[in-house]
Amino acid sequence: MNGFTGSVASQADFIWKNAKDLWGDFKHTDFGKIMRNVLSCVSRASQSVVRAALQQVFVQTDKKSARAT
């Protein structure tokens, strides 16, 4: 899955196709763990960007909270 590129829609289609294919092969209790790993692999390229954006949100929220008190 490394290097998987494409639109958000094509990535979503890829993930759901794999989910449907795997559904009957694993215990339902294990399915969530497996899909979490699939999602992690697909989103790995953008994880650092998302984390940086989330950190900015936290910093801005902290600044607003400090001004309010």
- d(C-alpha 52, C-alpha 57), whole Å: 9
CA gyration radius, the chain: 17
DSSP 29-47: HHHHHHHHHHHHHHHGGGH
pTM of the model as a whole: 0.41
Higher pLDDT: 15 or 58? It is 58
| 6: confidence class by pLDDT, cuts 50, 70, 90 | low
For 16-48, the pLDDT digits (tens) are 887 777 777 777 778 778 778 877 877 788 888
